Chains A and B, each alone.
Chain A
Amino acid sequence: MWTDSFILYALAAGIALALVVGPLGSVVVWRRMAYFGDTLAHAALLGVALAIAAEQLPMAGVGLTGVLIAVLLFWLEKQGNLSTDTLLGILSHSALALGLIVLSVIQAQGFNINLMSYLFGDLLAVGPSDLVLMYGSVVIILLVFSQILSPLVSISVNEELARIDGVAVEKIRFIFMILLALVIAVALKVVGILLITALLIIPAATARLYSKSPKQMVLVSVLMAIAAVVLGLLVSLGWDFPTGPAIVVSASFLFFVSRIFVR
């Protein structure tokens, strides 16, 4: 009996993630923000370490450091002089190095951390309380996202035209960065820190091949992400592969098949 419920929990958690990586991943692809996703992921390790040290939920730690990184990046971009990819290079690796230091300190203090489960996810260990937290976050993310989708499309096409149309470009960009930070937190248990950017990029890239309009791409990328989750879960159960990597490989499989057959 317990095998049934843990598979259902895993599936529910995977679908929760698929619901948000599709839409937000589409915008990440449009706006070339893959490196920002990577930076958030690296910072997530710091978030996990800090949360464990403070005996809080790792997901909360990841969300918080993500928001902090978004705020820092936003401030640094305003200062001028350095390009965004340089700034991300600074933030990304500083956060990772800091995370490793905090990890080693708390391990020396006797905290027992299963690092692998954070790096690659631990989908099969998801429980009901995780699901409540995940779906709560998903609902909030999607509600906010649906409010800013039009302006996001607008600034992805052309920021100046968007500005003249009265879009508060900075505000929208900032809100989107915060949403992305929350998505990383949701993804922690499912695919882990190292693979989250893959789930933002790959389903959206696959959806691009099937789509004619921005909204269509958003919807199709959700379907692609769900398909990757289901396929990955089946593969992982059938061959006893690690679940997170199996989901990412499934997403890539869907991409390559589509690339070959869709013109």
Chain B
Amino acid sequence: MPTAHQQTVSNANAENRPLLSAENISYVIRGKTILDDVSLQLHRREIITLIGPNGAGKTSLIRILLGLSDASSGKVERQQSLRLGYVPQAIDVPEVMPIRVVDFLNVTGLYNVKQCQHMLDEVNCAYLLYSPMQNISGGEMQRVLLARALLKKPQLLVLDEPASGMDIIGQQALYETIRFIRDKHDCGILMVSHDLHLVMAATDRVICLNSHICCTGHPDDVSEHPEYLKLFGDAIDGLALYSHHHDHEHDLHGNIVDAEHCHSCEPGEHEEKWQGDK
């Protein structure tokens, strides 16, 4: 049911348009290529997880999508007046600032205490309303950051490693919360994650990043994709069971039909990088 502030999604055309799309994003800092020709689209109601090893450029990509950094080349298009919610891993609130959770949630002055209370309730942290920001734990901080992002009624919610600093139980609860949020707020969700198995269960699409997009698709497909196994094989099995000839990877694995493959993986350009496999 379209409401007054959902005009952007009121017609079928807008419905199908991506909330945000990035085309051929490259990001180079001091001669070092962090991101190489990355393209992706984020849609309403879709939960996308970005995985990749340390230094794969996950955070850089997110910063570019959010508009916090500028890409070296390529372009990012956001739907007009897109309401963005961002949940960073953690923030350091200066000790010298007296600020309670309620002040933090309502830093823009647009909400009332009741709305803040309600949103904290939704992330199961209602008891924190009047706690000083400096006194809350890492897991609580992430929930408070989530509540703050949700107050904006975001159309796109971006979470940077939302489960870091949580135990398994906390993580499971968090992913449940994230699905619930998608259903309730009807927003697109993009998250970055390290831990694979939990994430997989709560994701519509996985993007595996290592400077370039190695593979992308439904979690079940990606988890069998050679590029994915190559990056995470050790972590999954404790052994490097995987071996394949890079030249033939597409022919050998016909089952990954929805997965788009990025050209920079082709032999030739990355010869040196993949030589170890041959």
Q: Please tell me which one of the listed residues A157, A163, A164, A165 contacts residue B97 in the complex, with CB atoms under 8 A apart.
A: A157
Residues facing A in B104-125 (CB within 8 A) are: 104, 107-109
Within the assembled complex, what's the spacing in Å between the Cα atoms of A92 and B235? 54
Q: 1/0 per position for A3-36, CB-CB distance to B under 8 A?
A: 0000000000000000000000000011010000
Residues facing A in B74-112 (CB within 8 A) are: 84, 86, 88, 91, 93-94, 96-100, 103-104, 107-109
| Inter-chain contact A157/B99, CB cutoff 8 Å | yes
Residues of B within 8 A of A154 (CB): 107-108
Q: Shortest beta-carbon distance, B187 to chain A, in Å? A: 15
| Inter-chain contact A157/B107, CB cutoff 8 Å | yes
Of A32, A153, A211, A215, the most chain B CB neighbours within 10 A belong to A153
| Inter-chain contact B68/A164, CB cutoff 8 Å | yes
Within the assembled complex, what's the spacing in Å between the Cα atoms of A208 and B95? 10
Q: List 30 A-B contacts (CB under 8 A).
A: A30-B94, A30-B97, A32-B94, A153-B99, A153-B103, A153-B107, A154-B108, A156-B94, A156-B97, A157-B93, A157-B94, A157-B97, A157-B104, A157-B107, A158-B91, A158-B93, A160-B68, A160-B86, A161-B148, A163-B68, A164-B67, A164-B68, A165-B107, A165-B152, A208-B96, A211-B98, A213-B100, A213-B103, A214-B103, A217-B97
What residues make up the interface of A, taking CB atoms closer than 8 Å to B?
29-30, 32, 150, 153-154, 156-158, 160-161, 163-165, 208, 211-217
Residues of A within 8 A of B130 (CB): 212
Nearest chain B residue, comparing its CB with the CB of A160 = B68
Q: Please tell me which one of the listed residues B88, B96, B108 contacts residue A165 in the complex, with CB atoms under 8 A apart.
A: B108
Residues of B within 8 A of A211 (CB): 98
Q: Shortest beta-carbon distance, B144 to chain A, in Å? A: 12
| Inter-chain contact B88/A161, CB cutoff 8 Å | yes
Residues of B within 8 A of A216 (CB): 98
Q: Beyond A157-B91, A164-B84, is A217–B108 a contact (Cβ under 8 Å)? A: no
| Inter-chain contact B91/A161, CB cutoff 8 Å | yes
Residues of B within 8 A of A29 (CB): 96
Residues of A within 8 A of B97 (CB): 30, 156-157, 214, 217
Q: Is B66 interfacial (CB-CB < 8 Å)?
A: yes
| Inter-chain contact B104/A217, CB cutoff 8 Å | no
Within the assembled complex, what's the spacing in Å between the Cα atoms of A216 and B99? 10
Residues of B within 8 A of A32 (CB): 94
Q: Shortest beta-carbon distance, B9 to chain A, in Å? A: 20
